[in-house]
Amino acid sequence: MLPKEYEVKGKNFIVSASARGIGKGIVEVLASSGAQVLATAISNTYLEKFSKYMKEKGFPIETIVADATKSEDWEKTVNYALNKWDNIDGLINNLGDFIKKPLISVQDGVETLMSDDEWKYILDLNLTQAFLGCRAISSHFIKQQKGKVINISGVAARKGVPNALAYSVSKAALVQLTQTLALEWAQYNINVNCIAPGSFPDPNMSNDIQTQEYTKNASIQIPLIPLIQNKMINVKNIIIDSKSGYSGAGQNVKNKFKFTNIYDSVSAYGVGSHKHMAEIDQELSRISKKKVKVFFTPHLIPMFRGILSTIYLETSGKNNAIKIHKFLKKYHKKNFFVKIAKFNTPIGTGEVMNTNYCNISVCKNRKDNKIIIISAIDNLIKGASGQAVQNMNVAFKMKETLGLI
């Protein structure tokens, strides 16, 4: 249970630029946890759709169209919230943007400088917006002698990103704005903090990023995400049986078998309550846009490393095992670290040991609308360090396979 000061039920929050991406996720978590939320966006393009979505989920939110880079819009937003709720407990400054632009670029002997407008555009979106938001709400927070502010920065705040000068500078400045306000407002019991997330998955990202670089539980999500995205399977009855080597079974399981001969035994663990179930449900629900609850049971088997997941699925529409296999083969054609085996071919963890590959096999079942997908990874590489290196390569625009083959 969360400490009382961290409970959000019954609290009131403003979240800027929150109709998509990180902001949208923040609003969903706050509203579903019992908070009242005012979501803002510069236009109704996504805001109206998001509001309808939240209402259908049973967590209605307040919305307002406002430009977070304009002081008059911030005053309008704060006044709207106070008219609705009488008090505001928290402000989350989420607006931000990125453009790839160096200070000067030279191509074919022609020099191109970053313009005044390009510099100001990024600083306004990443820094000025937070200053204006904090200024607009400062009087209210000081009068009530409490309040919480969270500014969303980025990893570029700690280490500059080449060809992203304005972005890196603005994110670093946002951290300093946060630290300075935290000191100035501590006497009023106002907390000011900053979160610096890394690259974040978005529905508009490419297939390889969605299915490889940002997925956890790789042996499960890599095969399932594209099938759910394209509505090729029924999400109501997903059964997952994962066999894990000793190194991937978690500390509690290791302690349990510490003084026994695990090489003469197969054991289920975390049955019906494994800690990764919530994580799997969350990510598959996000992709499906409807609530997904999988049946997931892991087993400890007599080997040191590797994970083999056997996934039992029901296809939708006229899809069958052959169509699913053809689709996955085409989908992952350019994904270097995902290999689709020949149709109806059993695979094992030995084929991926000491590699960053995820091998996938689609197998038929006695019933046309039922299929079996087998997925194998090395948990110590693809399931850990290898995937981290791959993420880094993609984030920093380096060759994806660098250091991995």
Can you give the pLDDT at residue 209? 32
Can you give the pLDDT at residue 158? 80
Phi and psi of 404, rounded to 5°?
-120, -10
Same domain for 169 and 71? yes
Q: Are 70 and 132 in contact (CB under 8 A)?
A: yes
Count of CB atoms within 10 A of residue 359's CB?
23
pLDDT-derived band at 3, boundaries 50, 70, 90: low
Q: How many folded domains does the chain comprise?
A: 2
Same domain for 175 and 213? no
Q: Are 269 and 342 in contact (CB under 8 A)?
A: no
DSSP E strand boundaries for 128-279: 147-152, 190-195, 233-244, 267-268
Domain end among 161, 195, 229: 195
Q: What percent of the chain is predicted at pLDDT more than 90?
A: 53
- Does residue 403 form part of some domain? no
Same domain for 253 and 287? yes
Burial class (CB in 10 A: 0-12, 13-18, 19+), 53: middle
pTM of the model: 0.53
Give the whole-angstrom CA distance, residue 17 versus residue 67. Answer: 9
Same domain for 263 and 153? no
Q: Does the pLDDT value for residue 202 go beyond 60? A: no
Give the whole-angstrom CA distance, residue 360 versus residue 328. Answer: 9
Residue found under tokens 């109206």: 48
pLDDT-derived band at 211, boundaries 50, 70, 90: very low
What value does the mean pLDDT take over residues 218-229?
91
Domain end among 195, 219, 252: 195
Same domain for 303 and 188? no
The CATH number given to whatever domain includes residue 87 is 3.40.50.720
- Does residue 400 form part of some domain? no
- Does residue 259 form part of some domain? yes
- Does residue 200 form part of some domain? no
Lowest mean pLDDT among 244-258, 343-357, 366-380: 244-258
Q: Are 171 and 154 in contact (CB under 8 A)?
A: yes
- Does residue 401 form part of some domain? no
Can you give the pLDDT at residue 198? 65
- Does residue 405 form part of some domain? no
Same domain for 174 and 219? no
Same domain for 281 and 158? no
User: DSSP class of residue 101?
Assistant: B
Q: What percent of the chain is predicted at pLDDT more than 70?
A: 90
Closest to 384 (Cα-Cα) out of 193, 145, 218, 211: 218
- The whole domain housing 263 covers 207-395
Same domain for 46 and 75? yes
The CATH number given to whatever domain includes residue 244 is 3.30.360.10
Lowest mean pLDDT among 35-44, 134-143, 200-209, 230-239: 200-209
Domain end among 149, 164, 195: 195
**Residue type, position 349, single letter:** T
pLDDT-derived band at 239, boundaries 50, 70, 90: very high
Can you give the pLDDT at residue 138? 97
pLDDT tens, 91-136? 999 998 877 788 998 888 888 898 998 899 999 999 999 999 999 9
* Helix (H) or strand (E) run with residue 292 in it: none
User: DSSP class of residue 301?
Assistant: -
